[in-house]
Amino acid sequence: MAEGCMRGLRYGMVFFNLLFWLGGCGILGVGVWLSVTQGNFATLSSSLPSLSAANLLIAVGTIIMVIGCLGCVGAVKESRPLLLSFFILLLLIFFLEILSIVLFFVYQDQIDHYAQRDLKRGLQLFGTEGNVGLTNAWMIVQTDFRCCGVTNHTDWFEVYNTSRVPDSCCPEYSDNCGLENPGTWWTAPCYERVKDWLQENLVALWIFALCTALTQILGLVFSMTMFCQAIKVETFYA
């Protein structure tokens, strides 16, 4: 009976971690593709230049793959050390995610202030050598969200030292349109536009967060149940 239960847990754990590992492979693949094709795409921060979409996806994908592989091998070999390591790592990540969410809501105003200040500093690097990723990111954000600057289109005046904005602030893109016809420029702040977009997609974000949490909880339950069952089987045959 105990052996049959253990076999069922092992198959369930292997299947769960295989899906977990494949998900990590997919995320890692997207990150590598972005890194190769887009360079440092979506690097808007001047103080954290390595925090690009590509690098973030590569890091997350690698962590998921390692944890999934650890759990899968632990389930196949019925290794208590590996199962316990998988449980501890997943529990640690779960607590860090909860802590991050709590800190975000507690210090939301401070985070807003710091983010806007950091993004404004990043504007000074726009179009400069070695900052292709930041330049491309701002052009894409302003074009897609129909906005200009961090808090106002005049943020760019300090960058150019004149009444000028990037050409991506124009409704109809053309060379030097950011120097001419100021009445046609986007004037909406990009920071607020992105925040509004996140608010509009809040339900989808919460569903994704809940699905992620549920997956992690299932992984914790599977691994700890199998760990305890392994102890019972070993004690039974001792």
For residue 106, the model assigns a pLDDT of 93
The length of the chain in residues reads 238
Q: Which amino acid, 61? A: G
What would the pLDDT profile of 63-88 be if each residue is shown by its tens digit? 888 888 888 888 888 788 888 888 99
What angle, 0 to 180 degrees and rounded to 10, lies between the N-to-C axes of helices 108-123 and 132-145? 110
pLDDT exceeds cutoff 90 at 183: no
Chain-centroid distance of CA 139 in Å reads 21
What's residue 46's pLDDT? Answer: 58
Residue 42: pLDDT band with limits 50, 70, 90: low
Quick: pLDDT tens for 154-179.
999 989 888 899 998 998 877 778 88
**Structure tokens of 104?**
């975000």
Q: Do the beta carbons of residue 188 and residue 146 sit within 8 Å?
A: yes
Query: Per-residue b/e over 27-37, b at no fewer than 16 CB within 10 Å?
Result: bbeebeebbee
Give pTM, 2 decimals: 0.74
What pLDDT sits at residue 41?
A: 46
